[in-house]
Amino acid sequence: MIKRSFVVFLLLVLGVAVYEAFRQAPFGQNRIGDVENPQSVSAFYLKHSPETLHTANSVTAIVVNFRGFDTLGEVTVLFLAATGLASILYRRKEEEEAAEKGHLPQRIQLPSSVLVRTGAKILFPLILMLGIYVFVHGHLTPGGGFQGGAIIATGFLLMFITYKRFNVNHNVLIWLESLSGLAFVLTGVYGLISYGSFLQNTGWTGRLNDLISGGLIPLIYIFIGIKVGTELTNVLDTLLHTKPRRNE
């Protein structure tokens, strides 16, 4: 009990400190400043996202172009998490052999009725299409590679939990994963070779609010979408196939 009240006291102190520090930046205050003569980074981004990059969604412009290097790192974090997950929960040799023959360890399965199974079958392509739509239109509307990728992963999740025998083809997954990640890096290298700066956008950026606009931004967001979708599906697949064992 003493420990618990000490913890509560500590937390209250921390809470007051954080709250007071953030009150120095009042809620709703305009800290962006003049957009025409940008002093802050946000104003600069808001100015150049429509003017130079011709990208309607300025969050996308920031994520993919202005701070694209962060996003490359973030995709890497996801990739490393999938790798780490696989290394932590890797299957033992006999299971590996069984998996190669197609006898995967039994997946966790929730009981599902005919209605659910039929519904899942109908929904699955729709969810995939929604995901693809979201990342193809990432530069025009809210959403993009991460959101689209996550939506695709939810589609696969639906199939995983309703169908016992639904399995993704691991070879296809690995190919998509590797190639989309590589394509992201290579687009960066393309900028380095032709314009002298890693991840730099092409000079041609089209017209604002066209589907094909923003130069390389939609292309990169498609790569990110595929990468994130396969990566998340991979994570779910690994987790769902871990089978509780009695002894180890």
Partner 1 sequence: MILLILLVVLAVVLLAAAVYATIQKDLLYAVLATGVVSLALSVFFYLLQAPDVAITEAAIGIALTTIIFIITIRNTTRDEDKYSEDMINRFKTEKE
Partner 2 sequence: MSNYQEIISQYRPLLEIIVYGSAVALILIGLYAVLVKKHLVKLVIGLSLIDSGVNLLFVGVGYVTNHTAPIFSPGFETAADKMVDPVPQALVLTAIVIGFAVTALALSLVIRLYRHHKTANVEQLNRLRW
Partner 3 sequence: MVVSPVHLIAAPLAAAFLIPLLNKLYRDAARVVPGVVFLYNLSVSWILVNRVFRSGPIVEVIAGWKPPFGINLVMTPFSAVLVMLVSFMAFVIWLYGFRFKRSLKGGVVMYYEILQMMMAAGSLGIILTGDLFNMFVFVEITGITAIALTAFYRDRDGAEAGFKYMLLGSMASVFLLLGILLIYTQTGSLNMAQIAERMPAVATGVKVTALIFLLISLGTEAEMFPLNGWAPDAYSQAPSPTSAAFAAVLGVAAIYALARVGFTLYDHGTVSGFLIAMGFLTMLFAEMAAITQTNLKRMLAYSSMGQMGLAMIAFGIGSEAALFGALFLIINHAIIKSLLFMTGSYFIYNLNDKRLRALNGIHKRLPYVSFLFALGALAIVGFPPFSGFWSKFYILTAAGAKQMMPLIIGILAVTVIEMTYYLRVIGRIYFAKEESEPASHKPSIQALVAMTSLAVLIIVLGLYPDLIAGFLHRASMFLLDKQTYIQTVLHLS
Contact positions toward partner 1, by CB under 8 A? 57, 59-60, 108, 134, 142-144, 146-147, 150-151, 153-154, 157, 161, 232, 235-236, 239-240, 242, 244, 246
* Block residue for tokens 């109908």: 122
Residue whose CB is less far from partner 3, 21 or 114: 21
Q: Which residues bind partner 2 (CB under 8 A)?
A: 3-4, 7-8, 11-12, 14-15, 18-19, 22-23, 25-32, 34-36, 41-42, 45-47, 49-50, 56-59, 62-63, 67, 70-71, 74, 77-78, 80-81, 84-85, 88-89, 140-142, 146, 208-209, 228, 235, 238-239, 242, 244-245, 248
Longest dimension (CA), the chain: 67
| b/e code 180-214 from CB counts within 10 Å (16+ = b) | bbebbeebbebbeeeeeebbbbbeebbebeeeebb
Could you give the CA distance from residue 144 to residue 132 in angstroms, rounded to a whole number? 9
Rounded least distance, CB 38 to partner 2, Å: 10
For residue 208, give both structure tokens: 């604002």
CA angle, 110 then 116 then 122, to 5°: 125
The partner in contact with residue 162, picked from partner 3, partner 1, partner 2, none with C-beta cut-offs of 5 to 8 angstroms by kind, is: none
Residue whose CB is less far from partner 2, 63 or 158: 63
Could you give the CA distance from residue 40 to residue 12 in angstroms, rounded to a whole number? 33
Instruction: Supply the DSSP symbol for 202.
Output: P
Rounded least distance, CB 37 to partner 1, Å: 24
Residue whose CB is less far from partner 1, 28 or 203: 28
* Block residue for tokens 């995709």: 75
Binding to partner 3, residues 21-80 (CB under 8 A): 21-22, 24-25, 31-33, 39-42, 44-45, 65-70, 72-74, 76-77, 79-80
Could you give the CA distance from residue 61 to residue 132 in angstroms, rounded to a whole number? 19
Neighbours of 55 (CB within 10 A): 28
Residues 6+ apart with CB under 8 A from 104: 98, 167, 241
Could you give the CA distance from residue 81 to residue 235 in angstroms, rounded to a whole number? 8
Residue ranges in contact with partner 3 by CB under 8 A = 17-18, 20-22, 24-25, 31-33, 39-42, 44-45, 65-70, 72-74, 76-77, 79-81, 83-88, 90, 93, 96, 171, 174-175, 177-179, 181-182, 185-186, 188-189, 191-193, 195-201, 248
